[in-house]
Each structure stands twice: as C-alpha cells, then as structure tokens.
Amino acid sequence: MANQQKAYTKQNGYSVNTEFHQFITESVIPSTNLDTEAFWTAFTTALDTADSDPTSECTNTCGSNRIHNAELEVSLGNASLTMNAINSRWGSLYDALYTESLIPHTAGLKPGNGTNVARRDRVVNCAKDFLDKTFPLTEGSHRDAVSYMVYFQNLLVILADGSTTGLQKPRQFVGKNGPTNEPESILLKHSGMHAEIIFDHNGKVGEHDLANIDDIQLEAASHMLFKFTAGSVTEKCETYQNWLELVKGDLHEKTFSAKDGEMFAVNQNNWSIKLSDNDNACQLVLNQNGEPVSEAIVDALTAALIYSNDQQGVAQLNMYIPNGATGISDSLIAELGTLLAVSRKAACAMPVASKNNAPIKVLAASADSLARSIEAPDLTYFPTPETAVIGALESHGFDVRASYI
C-alpha cells in the first residue's frame, strides 16, 4: 500500500503525504487561529523534537496504564458508529424510571402496553425528588413549580402559591433553548453532569404536569475510547475528520444558548483516544532521511492540533499509546504531554501560561486494558439510554434503588 502513496508535499524538510497535507490545510487550519505557515511550523517543530529523542528506537516499556476511563473502544473511522457512541451519552430519566425495575412492577404499577397513569405519576414524583436533591431551590420544591423562566441570566421558578424562587446554587443554571419567558428547555449542571428539563404543554407527560415538564434528559456519558487506527491515508483522513467534528461539536445533537446569549454544544468533560498501533501503515510523513515518522506520533500531534478547536478549553484529552508502537520511548511519552500542550496553545494563539488550556496527558496503554473493542455492524455493547441514565445517577453518588422504589 505504501508504494501506491508516493505523492508527497515538502514541508520544512519533511515529506507530508499530499492527501493528508491537503486535509490539514483545507479542513483543520481554517478552524485554528494560525495561518498555514505557522501551523506547519508548529507541527514540524514538534516532529523535530520527537525525532531527536535519543531513546526513540525503544518500544515503550514505561509503567503501563489500564484504561480505566474507557469501557468501549470505538473506531473513529466509522462515522455511523461514532454517532451511535455520541448519541448514547444522553438518556431520558422518565423512560429509565418507567421501564427499569427501580419502581416495582407490582399490581397497579406494571408498565403494560399503554401508559400506566399510576406508574407515570410515580415516575414524575421520583424525577422531581431527583431535581430537589440535585438542583435544590432556595424555597419550596420542584414538585410545586408551575413555571420556569430566565430573568437577568438567572433561573426564576414560580411556585403554585404564586411565590417565586430560584436555585440554591444559581451557577447550576448554564443554558436554555427558546425564549426567556417560556423556554423550550433549560440546562442545569451538577458535578460535571448535565440535566436538560424539557417543556411541552402538549406532551404525553407535559400536558399533565404543573410546569409542563415533558421529560428530563440526563448526560449519561458512556466512557468511550476512540481509536485512530486506519489502513490507508484516505481512511486516516476520514478518522481525523470525525475527530475534528467531535471536537468542534458538529456531531453533538444538543446545543444551547448560554447566559450571555452565545450558542454552545455540550462537550464531554474528557476525551480518551488511542493512537495507531499499526506503525507506518499509511506513511503520512517521511523525515529528512526518507524514513516514515511513527504514525502514533503523527496521530498525537494531529489530534492535539485539531483539539485546538475546543475553544471552551475545559475538557481533558487522554492519549493512549498502545503497546508495541515503535519509536515511542519512556522519555518521549513524558515529553509529548508538554510538547502537545505547547503545540495546542500555539494553534489557539494563546499565551503559554494560559489557564484556559485544557490538560493533555500521554499514557502507555497496557495489554490488559479494560476497553472492549467495538466494530460495526456489532452495536450490542452500547448501553441502552435507560441503563446509561441509571449508571450516571449511581456514578454521581445517588442511591437510586433506595431513593426511587
């Protein structure tokens, strides 16, 4: 395959595969604050540092790290699989409580074929209890709320007795959709977990609710490890493109208006990616001697520079280098973390000491990783939204069964 990929573009002494070079120049660079020359200078300067590592011929032998943050290993090269992974991040609290066994399936409360009104009401009460515990009001209960609105960038709640109240922690309100006096939904945040309260006075549940709450969607993030392995330059560029869209938020369904009116997408709090373990399969970059640069290193630098699109600067990027990746030594793993952070700051045109820069960690992945490999068309490992919601509640310290049965 390498013999078929002979088109290269010279860049600061390196030979960059022309298809890869075109993708970076036309798709990535316009999303950064750098011009083309500055971008490639940052990229090749990082390659110089990596290539000069005196122990780079060693295979990494540093203390390996189990990938505790990743349960599912998903190929970024498959767009539909990536979308499935992203969409599994959100689930309905109402559906989870209604279908799961947290509320007993006893006489009078069995789900049945149609809507069981008694079970529906129990679900709504349980969900309101969740809101009271997680997003408590200064006065009163979410059970007594008849209206939610935004007033001077704060959430204002009107209760059934006509009194008004707000959140005990006003900063938990982070966004909305729709007009301020009658929002379509509001977004709340607790310990890194988002909850979207959706209103619909014509909804199946909303029409029976005092405040017309039709659903509560929870950010039930399934921990994903996105793989960068590809068999050709075209596949690799498709992988990078999906990573670019993930980072920019283009693959996220949920967008909101922040308190200042700016639109934003709800991104993950951290990203975990696994660099290529098929060293030099694509030969993306050749050094001054015509030798392929380690594909894992090219992955790392490309991922970090693409990551500069994450202007929120709050998510941590964990890069796992698989066992057996040649050219990645202990010292280089330690060096790459700093190198990538600096590269990202350069790509964002931010000061080196900027506190807004999200941390980047480079780790060696152990062979006994907890990650499970997922390939299309087998999607069976993805948790159902209901299961993911229950898992999200439990991961944030809620004794779900004790609270909701």
Q: What is the pLDDT of residues 241-288, one digit of tens each?
A: 888 887 776 665 678 899 888 888 776 666 788 888 766 678 899 999
- Give the strand pairing for 263-265 and 255-257: antiparallel
pLDDT at 64: 43
* DSSP H or E segment with residue 15: strand 14-17
- Distance, CA of 192 to CA of 371 (rounded, Å): 23
pLDDT of residue 105: 80
Which residues of the chain are under the pLDDT cut of 50? 1-5, 54-70, 311-313, 350-357, 367-382, 405
The string of DSSP codes covering 131-194 is: HHHHS-BSSS-GGGEEEEEEETTEEEEEETTS-EE-BSSGGGEEEEES-SSS-SEEEEEETTEE
d(CA 189, CA 79): 29
For residue 383, the model assigns a pLDDT of 52
DSSP assignment, residue 384?
A: P
Segment 4-49, tens digit of pLDDT: 446 999 999 999 999 999 999 998 888 766 678 877 887 888 788 7
Q: How far apart are CA 125 and CA 342, in angstroms?
A: 50
Under CATH, to which class is 2-87+222-374 assigned?
A: alpha beta
Q: pLDDT value at position 182?
A: 95
Q: What is the model's pLDDT at position 57?
A: 42
Q: 């939904």: which residue's tokens? A: 185
Residue whose pair of structure tokens reads 């006003």 in the numeric block = 170
Angstrom CA distances, 88 to 76, 214, 240, 241, 389, stand at: 15, 20, 21, 20, 10
Q: Delimit the domains of the chain by residue range.
A: 2-87+222-374, 90-219+385-404
Q: Cα-flanking dihedrals φ and ψ of residue 186, to 5°?
A: -130, 150
CB 229 within 8 A of CB 365: no
How far is C-alpha 126 from the chain's CA centre? 28
327: which 2 tokens? 């050219």
- Contact between residue 315 and residue 254 where contact means Cβ atoms under 8 Å apart: no
Q: Residue 17 pairs with which residues in a beta bridge?
A: 8
Strands (E), 366-404: 372-374
- Specify the amino acid at residue 48: D
- Reading the block at residue 350, the tokens are 């931010």
Query: What is residue 80's predicted lDDT score, i.e. its pLDDT?
Result: 73
- Burial pattern 237-259, b for ≥16 Cβ within 10 A else e, equals bbbbbbbbbbbbbebbebebbeb
Which tokens is 332 given? 């280089």
CATH superfamily of 90-219+385-404: Malate synthase G - maily-beta sub-domain (2.170.170.11)
Give, in degrees to the nearest 5, the angle at Cα 248 between 246 and 252.
Answer: 55
3-class DSSP state for residue 122? helix
β-pairing verdict for 316-322 and 270-274: parallel
d(CA 315, CA 116): 41
